[in-house]
Amino acid sequence: MKKLLKAPLQLAGLGLASALVLTGCAASTTAPSQSAEPSASEDITSQPIELAFMGPETPETFEPVIAGFTELYPNITINYEQIPFDQLATTIEQRIGSGDSAIDIYTVDQPWLAQYAAKGYLEDISYLAAEASSAMPSAMYDVNFYDEKMWALSVWNSTQMMFYNKDMLDAAGVQYPSSSPDARWTWEEIDAASKIIVDSGSAQYGYLLEQVVNYYQFQAIAESAGGGSGITGSDMLSLDLTNAGWTKALEWYQDSFANGLQPTGVGGFDTGPMFSDKKLAFFIGGPWDIGIFGGNDVNWGVAPHPYFEGGEVATPTGSWSWGLNPASKNKTAAAEFLKYATINPVGNLKTTEALTVIPANEEAAGKYLPGLESDPRSAGVSDIMLYEIQNTARTRPTTVGYVQFDSLLSVALEDIRNGAEITSRIDVLTAAIDDAWELFR
């Protein structure tokens, strides 16, 4: 069970960025400067080649795509190495950073791409840009660009939605939220409904954000409150965390825990099980949860992601891309595998066989999404996801300082969730991020 849960969460943490990126950057679709394609004369069809592939998912996740590829290239073996999500950034820093050639291809959390590209941890693959742009929605394509070059290819896309426990709502006499994006609930409505449900004793808590202290999920809340992404400036290295919107979002966030509507002390892989264990009436989670909750006995339904009354509708997005290690000795073969898993709809679809996640490839997504409704409880989810990806998704900011921002913000959110005074905590956070960003100035 743990294994099952782990993969989607890792995905959620790292990977969500790609979908949103689509809509967010649509206007900036970039024409890349040409990069050198590996020598075409290199033979990858006859001699035996071993490729090393590193990522946070369980090995089972990539078995289908690896099997599909090695059927086309029987001479190529792909060895997948799983690095737990929490250690992935560190491992990339240590191994790719030190020029380790024993990794050929690795997973890249999209908001981290800018920094990896700037540090030279990724091979320039702009020569694949033309093929990629016709296979993917523009946000999924744009997210892989930094400094006008393409550094990776999107494998998955993501969004978030609201799961609700029908039995709990019935018991408390609360109407189900609509599955139509036009009639989506506000956070205020969820607070009110949660209070009724908790007071009536039909649930221990009202709701919970899946990645409760992660920017991936909090960004949509701050944006809906009118606070923007929190990062501004031409170099995207200025903070804007004290505006009215961010303050409103943070106060709402803190109150939801103080009032007992969201539980404290639960995070990481423990959030989803709270919904399956019938402790929550609502759960804001991702497409992977459809797969996970498919195995529980909760009578659940799905509604669109909430927003603040009078505010804009904003939803999380983004996911994982894959990139090539510049130190790899098998770049041609690795690029071929990368193309198969992303640009080729058949290969891309295979990456979603073992996991409920949206394929980044347009054709693959078209085949995949309707299948998500095979469980009658997930009725309407395909339309919700399509709508969010196209209309409400907010990409995480492209900044070389994302790593520092993301990791320090999440510690601050944990403190605020547990009652730390907001203004002073945000001041401390701002000083800490500015200090960490000294590196780029």
Partner 1 sequence: MKRKELYWALLVFLAPAVLALVVMRILPAAQALIESLFKTNVFSGEKTFVGVDNYVSLFENPDFQNTIAVTILFAFLVNPIQVFSALLLALLFVRAFPFSRLLRSLIIFPIAVPPAVAAVMWSAVYRPDGLANGILKSLGLSTQGFILDEEQALMAIIVMLSWIGVGYWMLFLIAGLNDIPDEIYEAARIDGAGYIRQTVSVTMPLLGRPLSFVLVATTISNFLVFAPVLILTRGGPVGSTSLLMYDIFLRAYSFGDIGRANAGVFILILLMVTAVSLQFFLLRKGNQQ
Residue 31 contacts partner 1 per CB under 8 A: no
Task: Please say which residue, 171 or 420, places its beta carbon nearer to partner 1.
Answer: 420
Q: What DSSP element (H or E) covers 422?
A: helix 422-437
Q: How far is the CB of 152 from partner 1 (least distance, A)?
A: 18
CA–CA separation, 180 and 199 (whole Å): 28
Residue 371 contacts partner 1 per CB under 8 A: no
Q: How far is the CB of 275 from partner 1 (least distance, A)?
A: 15
> What does the per-residue mask of binding to partner 1 show for 87-126, with x meaning CB under 8 A?
--xx--xx--------------------x--xxx------
Task: Please say which residue, 181 or 206, places its beta carbon nearer to partner 1.
Answer: 206
By CB atoms closer than 10 A (0-12, 13-18, 19+), residue 232 is middle
Q: How far is the CB of 20 from partner 1 (least distance, A)?
A: 23
SS3 15: helix
Q: How far is the CB of 435 from partner 1 (least distance, A)?
A: 6
Q: Kindly report the number of other CB atoms within 10 A of residue 222's CB atom.
A: 26
Q: How far is the CB of 225 from partner 1 (least distance, A)?
A: 24
Which of 102, 236, 346, 432 touches partner 1 (CB under 8 A)?
Answer: 432
Token pair in block for residue 286: 């991702």
> Among the candidate windows 85-93, 129-137, 304-312, 313-321, which touches partner 1 by CB under 8 A?
85-93
Task: Please say which residue, 59 or 84, places its beta carbon nearer to partner 1.
Answer: 84
> Among the candidate windows 68-76, 101-109, 378-386, 432-440, which touches partner 1 by CB under 8 A?
432-440
Task: Please say which residue, 45 or 259, places its beta carbon nearer to partner 1.
Answer: 259
Beta bridge partners of 318: 17
Residue 425 contacts partner 1 per CB under 8 A: yes
> What does the per-residue mask of binding to partner 1 show for 210-249, with x meaning CB under 8 A?
----------------------------------------
Residue 411 contacts partner 1 per CB under 8 A: yes
With tokens 């990456």, the residue in question is: 351
Residue 3 contacts partner 1 per CB under 8 A: no
Which of 272, 404, 422, 426 touches partner 1 (CB under 8 A)?
Answer: 404
Contacts of 16 by beta carbon, 8 Å cutoff, 6+ apart: 158, 159, 160, 216, 286, 316, 317, 318, 319
Assign residue 226 a region: left if phi > 0, alpha if psi is -120 to 50, beta otherwise?
left
Task: Please say which residue, 379 or 411, places its beta carbon nearer to partner 1.
Answer: 411
Task: Please say which residue, 223 or 406, places its beta carbon nearer to partner 1.
Answer: 406
Q: What are phi and psi of 2, to 5 degrees?
A: -60, -40
Q: How far is the CB of 414 from partner 1 (least distance, A)?
A: 6
DSSP conformational letter for 230:
S
Residue 423 contacts partner 1 per CB under 8 A: no
Say if CB 288 and CB 210 are below 8 A apart.
Answer: no
DSSP conformational letter for 397:
P
Assign residue 9 a region: left if phi > 0, alpha if psi is -120 to 50, beta otherwise?
alpha
Residue 403 contacts partner 1 per CB under 8 A: yes
Alpha helices in 306-376 (DSSP H): 331-342, 345-350, 362-368
Q: Give the length of the chain.
A: 441
Dump the DSSP string for 266-298: --GGGHHHHHHTT-EEEEEE-THHHHHHTTS--
Distance (Å) of CA 276 to CA 132, 291, 416, 434? 38, 12, 26, 40
Q: How far is the CB of 95 from partner 1 (least distance, A)?
A: 11
Question: In terms of Cα–Cα distance, which of 284, 309, 286 is closest to 205?
Answer: 284
Q: How far is the CB of 280 from partner 1 (least distance, A)?
A: 13
Tell me which residues touch partner 1 (CB under 8 A): 86, 89-90, 93-94, 115, 118-120, 263-266, 400, 403-404, 407, 410-411, 414-415, 418, 420, 425, 428, 431-432, 435-436, 438-440
